[in-house]
Amino acid sequence: MNTVNVSRRTLLTSTGGAIGLASIGAFGALSPAAKALASTTKDAAKPLPAYASWKNTDSLIIHSANTMETKRSAFGSGVITPLDRLFVRNNIAPPSEDIVANPDVWELKIEGVKNPTTLTVADLKTMGMASVAMVLQCSGNGRAYFPEKPSGTQWTVGAAGCVVFTGIPVKTLLEQVGGMVESAQYMTGTGGEPIPEGLDPNTIQVERSVPLEGIEDALLAWEINGEPIPLAHGGPLRMVVPGYTGVNNVKYIKRLAFTEEQSPANIQQSGYRLAPMGEKGAPAHQSVWKMPVKSWITYPAGEAEQTVKAGKVQVQGLAMGGTSEVTGVEVSLDGGKNWQKAEFIGPDLGPYAWRQFVLSTELKAGEYSITSRATNKAGDVQPENRLENNRGYLNNSWADHALTITVA
């Protein structure tokens, strides 16, 4: 559980919307998340790398040149996350900025189909187009709440955003190339990051395989939020698999293959596996593919200088259903002992997008442990406890995401 002690000031600053999502988490002094918050000022002062120089530094926690987290206070009042505030996560350094200068000439090899071919982005744009609103979330979002401190970036809630991707449906592309080979069991995307000379590509290459069921709503996308995908988010072309964690949405995709086996790359064979504590990831462990149902509170969860004043309070948050649309969310003001139904607000952008929610309540002076619990159409309910694993993946525990608020 995370703690914020809020002194007297105004309840709500000017958010300009029904749901301001105004807050960055402030956490207990001894928790992993507390350290993340304590370093926010220092991290925000870090310079942005050239490929992300257009980002809004006031909205981000800069963990490193390849890892940037959206602050709780920066999700905004709309469902869609502005690109200049959207988190960044790269497993290795991105390619040269030159590749997005003329995105239409980027080439994609298509293999494991009846008619293998190479197509440019310009070619793909003539074959079909669709858009999908979806949550893009790093597999390790929520890692900071694991008491064992797994290795990796100590994300709290900000390694996530809701965006709209536009491109050609993979199913449409398959029709153009005669369909996949009969032996195919996986859709495998290979990223275009440069591999240093002399290294075995499998040791570093970003290449991910997902089960064929992921094809249903998958895209090869060239736009995000209505503009060409920038290098920071995988342009000029990205494999998009709605409902699956970020690593499976391969950036700078240069090869799309329909394969009988999963990729031999380390990032597939041993990386992103749900290995037990103390064990290294291996093919025998479940791969990190689909996102689970999840939610978190975004207000009140303010910085130290913000306040929660006794009286009417709009408890706000975000909820997602993973691969099944989110259908309900409850809020608890007492650490999960009692729950109240929250209301969805704002537009419903489809099963893969998140929903804003609000609970209008009266808070007297005192201490409250506030958390949320979402349910999706498949009947999955956000659990109390995290799924323990060695790298801190897929944390959707409502208990971990609870915030202790002092109301004055």
Residue 108 lies in a domain: yes
Residues 343-375: pLDDT tens digits? 999 999 999 999 999 999 999 999 999 999 999
Q: What residues make up the domain containing 374? A: 2-70+291-407
Verify that 236 and 328 share a domain, yes or no.
Answer: no
Which of these three, 237, 269, 301, is where a domain ends?
269
* Half-sphere exposure in the Cβ direction for 186 (13 Å, CA): 17
With a CB cutoff of 8 Å and minimum separation 6, the contacts of 256 are: 108, 109, 110, 111, 170, 173, 187, 188, 189, 190, 220, 239
pLDDT of residue 52: 97
Verify that 128 and 37 share a domain, yes or no.
Answer: no
Verify that 60 and 123 share a domain, yes or no.
Answer: no
Verify that 203 and 326 share a domain, yes or no.
Answer: no
CATH code: domain of residue 197: 3.90.420.10
Verify that 218 and 314 share a domain, yes or no.
Answer: no
Verify that 215 and 316 share a domain, yes or no.
Answer: no
Residue 149 lies in a domain: yes
CATH code: domain of residue 65: 2.60.40.650
Separation between Cα atoms, residue 51 and residue 60, nearest integer Å:
15
Amino acid present at 346 = G
pLDDT of residue 13: 28
Residue 31 lies in a domain: yes
Verify that 142 and 233 share a domain, yes or no.
Answer: yes
The total number of structural domains in the chain stands at 2
Separation between Cα atoms, residue 401 and residue 408, nearest integer Å:
22
Verify that 98 and 221 share a domain, yes or no.
Answer: yes
With a CB cutoff of 8 Å and minimum separation 6, the contacts of 184 are: 112, 212, 258, 259, 260
Taking residues 162-167, what's their average pLDDT? 98
Q: Do 368 and 336 contact (CB within 8 A), yes or no?
A: no
Taking residues 146-156, what's their average pLDDT? 95
Rounded mean pLDDT of the chain? Answer: 89
Which of these three, 205, 237, 269, is where a domain ends?
269
Cα 207 to the center of its chain, rounded Å: 18
Residues 63-116: pLDDT tens digits? 999 999 998 878 877 899 999 999 999 999 999 999 999 999 999 999 999 999
Stated pTM of the model: 0.88
Q: DSSP class of residue 384?
A: S
Verify that 182 and 311 share a domain, yes or no.
Answer: no
Verify that 218 and 330 share a domain, yes or no.
Answer: no
Residue 19 lies in a domain: yes
Verify that 155 and 229 share a domain, yes or no.
Answer: yes
Separation between Cα atoms, residue 252 and residue 192, nearest integer Å:
5
Verify that 249 and 304 share a domain, yes or no.
Answer: no
Determine what percent of the chain is predicted with pLDDT higher than 70: 88
Amino acid present at 73 = S
Count the Cβ atoms, other than its own, within 10 Å of residue 22: 24
Residue 2 confidence class, pLDDT cut points 50, 70, 90: low
Q: Report the relative pairing of strands 403-407 and 2-5 from DSSP bridges.
A: parallel
